[in-house]
Structure 1
């Protein structure tokens, strides 16, 4: 075989490989490391509903998502800098100027944790006026909830994490704490964090939740406008709709519920 025929054969092989092989792109995705069942670390690995959803979508659109879960403040800082996207992001007017948003990925039912000896009736937002609420620094639950804090309707008691918020309620430093998502998120937190917060483990029977959510907070994938990811988000949203329509995401949610015997 002469050199010209060899080069021609090599080109045919390369073209064939290119046409039959799907190449994946890489993207870093940040999230919170301590809010089960949405996302959390188990044995050093990212776990949770949003993590599994991202992996499902990644296969659909041929992306390798490098999912990195950190304390929220650190994860949010990386996303602000444009180091990657961030999952579990709530919408508010300030963030809309900074991030481009996907369609809704998940609804976070924000519930209130209280001491059993300090249970109160909650039917309307006005029932909460003047009460102190423990919540994590830098967190947002959407414009409506954020405005309750900004206007002084609720008195914030800032914490470093959801377990820390629950300890503030136990100690009487706050009337209630932001918890969730829903009952499963609250229960997974107080049981999963038992080794790190022995006082919470010892006294968790003194706590309960008010079943009515204070807000149903839609969560999104957010990407800094610095990255101009409009085309990616359009592709992402198509896969998101497919996952919802096919029942794939419902199965993911049920898997985590079954794991905690709550179905």
Structure 2
């Protein structure tokens, strides 16, 4: 799965939601999950070569030619993070015209958004370092960047991100005012899956699918991502 890096280039720990999800799947599907985290492009490369499952991947026409996909695990909302002092209206992709938007290489934000990259708006390609993206945004090297977040409490996510990534700036330390804001209208909502190379035996995905279907019926998956 993809790594996220902090302000000292350290790999950040998994969120509570993802840890709860993996615990649920291990217990329900009776499997053991061994987590390996890499830059996203390497995740895709390793998965295509049959080196295990990919977690947190979206379906695209190209990927359907390469991977088996599980049932949807959760719906990732793709948000725009911007400087609070420089707000802009966003209701549709057309509102991004002539803006510079930070995107992680190899990622997708839905067919409509992907089709307009470097057409309606300019892409600023980023690495897996979330701290690096916040730094670029603070320096006004881009107008906003994409944040993939399944949690439903957007206000809490924004507060958490400012505590983590604005704390190094005097402006935040002195005024205690949030520097980074999340636009309340998502760019897109995309289902995230587990995936496995088409060349591999998909029996492990079948076990995971049964667990996911059970978790949706019981409401457990919804509870996990509401926390």
Match among 204, 223, 227 for residue 251 of structure 1: 223
TM-score of the superposed pair, with normalisation by structure 2: 0.81
TM-score of the superposed pair, with normalisation by structure 1: 0.71
Equivalence map 1:1-263=2 (5 Å): 31-34=1-4, 41-42=12-13, 46-149=14-117, 152-160=119-127, 161-181=129-149, 183=154, 184-192=156-164, 198-199=168-169, 202=172, 205-229=178-202, 231-254=203-226, 257=227
More strand by share: 1
Superposed CA RMSD = 2.6
**Matches of 2:49 and 2:170, distance apart in 1:** 35
Does the 8 Å contact 2:109/2:187 carry over to 1? no
- Higher RCO (CA-CA < 8 Å; seq separation 6+): 2
Please, which runs of 5 or more residues in structure 1 have no aligned partner?
1-30, 258-263
**Matches of 2:83 and 2:165, distance apart in 1:** 18
> What is the match of residue 8 of structure 2?
none
Q: CA deviation at 1:105?
A: 0.4
- Greater shift, 84-93 or 178-187, is seen at 178-187
Name which one, 1 or 2, has greater alpha-carbon Rg.
1
Q: CA deviation at 1:220?
A: 0.6
**Matches of 2:39 and 2:171, distance apart in 1:** 21
